[in-house]
Structure 1
């Protein structure tokens, strides 16, 4: 029975690492496609729009991994003996993660519709709630040494909340891209249509780099466990 429990925990750790690799690896691909989309001197507009379509499709990988990280992290904390969660809490975590995953894919499948806009609005508030949850969990654990006792794990929970916050800011900063891209397609490539779009992408990239740094720091804490 003890061997089975250890194997179950190790499986969860493997899935956790796999989701991290998919999240960060695919997101770097999204970043590179965005970089090439910016090169109007190298690609014509139809080619750049194809790059953008590829970007949107590839972006579903980190978004999927992000949603699954919620139930995996909490289940892992319970299975590893880091946090004694009641069964209903673990089930709730999976229901929340599953619902979030459905919102992400439903919005993608029905893109540019009122249904997609509704999905993304619900997802936005769900992410705010999860941000507050992980920030509160990390801060409370650091202050009270409970419910997460190891400092590295409490800090990791806090940083996961910060990742949520920075990732939300990516979506907020990227929001003007829709109308700006529509203007670019309708009026063609010019300084008037390109420069505002590039400025929006530049502002978004700041938050992207913050997410990357936080992800690497979180991975370091989880593997090295320095304190």
Structure 2
């Protein structure tokens, strides 16, 4: 057993937690959408959804340093020590932003930290799209094969996840009206429209995760 083997195991574990946790979030969201449930039950489902969502968010943040460490330890790219340190620093910062915002939810601090996290994800989107795109186009860095493709798709996952955040953001006010005014055709429709728009991006994430995992395990090219 060596460090690379351990990182591969952790990488697989993070994938399982990410995809499995996200599916759990999706199922809870599907039940929350049902007006047949009493409002107290629906709010409990929403609370469980938020708690469950922390598992894939944590796994996603850890994927950045773990994947780059695997690239270095596996001999695919000679990353300098400062590059690995930066990757783990970014992962630690991201985890801090995610968990601090969660623990201080509905406060000005949480709102501010989520803005920082949003811009961090934009930066990582640009990094992975560029990293993978240049590798695929030139054959440098990660090469034009499966690893370059995987890095590029990881950047696409970031981009789609940002669209989830953007599409989901109006749910807060719509949910507030639903709770305050009660269930009606109008309040239910407002929530349903937002969740349906978000669901398309969520399903896209699932497909991208499966394709990314296929590239990493099968290495078809």
TM-score normalised by structure 2 residue count: 0.99
The answer on 1:199 being equivalent to 2:193 is yes
Structure 2 match to 1:14: 9
Q: CA deviation at 1:143?
A: 1.2
Give the counterpart of 2:211 among 203, 214, 217. Answer: 217
SS in 2 for 1:11: helix
Note the alpha carbon deviations across 1:27-60, whole angstroms, 9 max, x for none: 000000000001112x111100000000000000
Note the alpha carbon deviations across 1:186-208, whole angstroms, 9 max, x for none: 11111111101100000000000
Matched positions, count = 221
**Structure 2: any 5+ residue segments left out of the alignment?**
none
Give the counterpart of 1:146 among 120, 140, 148. Answer: 140
**Structure 1: any 5+ residue segments left out of the alignment?**
1-5
The answer on 1:58 being equivalent to 2:27 is no
The answer on 1:29 being equivalent to 2:24 is yes
SS in 2 for 1:146: coil
Aligned Cα root-mean-square deviation (Å) = 0.7
Structure 1 match to 2:79: 85
The 1-side partners of 2:162 and 2:209 are apart by 14
Give the counterpart of 2:39 among 31, 42, 45. Answer: 45
Structure 2 match to 1:109: 103
Q: Tell me which stretches of 4 or more aligned residues in structure 1 moved more than 6 Å.
A: none
Q: CA deviation at 1:149?
A: 1.9
Check conservation: 2:138, 2:144, Cα contact below 8 A. Answer: no
The answer on 1:190 being equivalent to 2:184 is yes
Note the alpha carbon deviations across 1:87-123, whole angstroms, 9 max, x for none: 0000000000000000000000000111001100000
TM-score normalised by structure 1 residue count: 0.96
Q: CA deviation at 1:150?
A: 5.2
